[in-house]
Amino acid sequence: MKELTRTECAEWLLTRNNYVLLSHRKPDGDTLGSCAALCRGLRKLGKTAHILENDEVTHLLSPLVEGLTKPQVEEGDLLIAVDIAADNMLPKKYEHLKNCIDLRIDHHGSGREYTPTEHVDSQAAACAEMIWELLLDMGVEPDEKIAEAVYVGVSTDTGRFLYANTTAHTFDVAGDCAHYGADVFEWNRKIFDTNSLAKLKLQAWVVEHLQFLCQGRIVMCVLPASVEEELGVGEDDLNNLSGFLRSIEGVCVAALLRNAGEDNTKVSVRSIPGYNAASICEIFGGGGHAGAAGCSIRMPLAEASAELEAVLVKWENS
């Protein structure tokens, strides 16, 4: 595997053609914003570039990739994975492509190598931050659409500049995006200041049904599938629900438990600095980051909850 610096990556892209960009499963603002900005930038340079259609793009983010996609790979296309940490993050539909990807551009330091060439910067808060620099290196004059796509990537991967990954450089890139005409207010409103009613009802339910442990330093909530159904919540509404629990004053560790099939429970853990969510999830064979991690417990919801509670209390007291 060959690692490329930014300059080498710019050179790699400038000397080739016919690019197909891949986003990850459950595509977020960063993978789609990065794909959109790179695709537009390459087109500005006279290259042929497309984003491979991803069935899971939500209606909120679909405007980013509008007019840039194509349904399948053609002979002679060069495949680039954008913001995809490991080949198991590829959309199911594109699993057959996993050995054909030419380049990975990514900011996941924990990523697994699966391409012959990669450009990875684990210091970047968002992949879109890397794309912005890469485009400038290639001599692309950013336009409003590119700026908007990069802004969506940078703002979403930093939780609107709240997470610990946010650096001065992240703000610089976001500032540049505003300078080049990104409609920052409109995207912020759409992405961060709009909730479905179902999501707010879910948050209300969670507040009524949570359970504090260890004098309120730990909070747990067990969310049965029947409640999800009753409230009519979708995957988008469940996004970062454990982060919502973590935001309660005094809470150091928050855990949300959900049904994942009859005898399986999905656990999502969030923690503040000084507490390691990943080390809790590793006990159950899961993993993630210090602040955000997940695991599955092969037990029905109630049993898994009792098991996790015992582990959390023991862990907090050790």
Closest contact distance (angstroms) between CB of 37 and Mn ion is 13
Measured from the CB atom, the residue of 85 and 312 that comes closer to Mn ion is: 85
Task: List all residues 6 or more positions away from 106 whose beta carbon is below 8 Å from its beta carbon.
Answer: 81, 82, 83, 84, 85, 118, 119, 120, 127
265-271 β-sheet, strand order: 211-213, 218-223, 253-259, 265-271, 292-297, 287-288
| Binding residues for Mn ion restricted to 199-258, rule: CB under 5 A | none
By the rule CB under 5 A, 106 interacts with Mn ion: no
Closest contact distance (angstroms) between CB of 7 and Mn ion is 22
Residues that contact Mn ion, how many (by CB under 5 A): 4
By the rule CB under 5 A, 127 interacts with Mn ion: yes
Measured from the CB atom, the residue of 10 and 130 that comes closer to Mn ion is: 130
Among residues 10, 19, 22, 30, which is the contact residue for Mn ion, using CB under 5 A?
Answer: 30
Per-residue interface string for the shown chain with Mn ion, residues 149-188, x marking contact by CB under 5 A:
--------x-------------------------------
Q: Where are the beta strands (DSSP E) in the chain?
A: 2-3, 19-22, 49-52, 69-70, 78-82, 103-106, 117-120, 211-213, 218-223, 253-259, 265-271, 287-288, 292-297
By the rule CB under 5 A, 83 interacts with Mn ion: yes
Q: What does the alpha-carbon distance between residue 249 and residue 139 come to, in Å, rounded to a whole number?
A: 47
By the rule CB under 5 A, 129 interacts with Mn ion: no
Read off φ and ψ for residue 239, nearest 5 degrees. Answer: -55, 120
Contact range with Mn ion by CB under 5 A, out of 12-20, 80-88, 117-125, 287-295: 80-88
Please report, as ranges, the residues that interact with Mn ion according to CB under 5 A.
30, 83, 127, 157
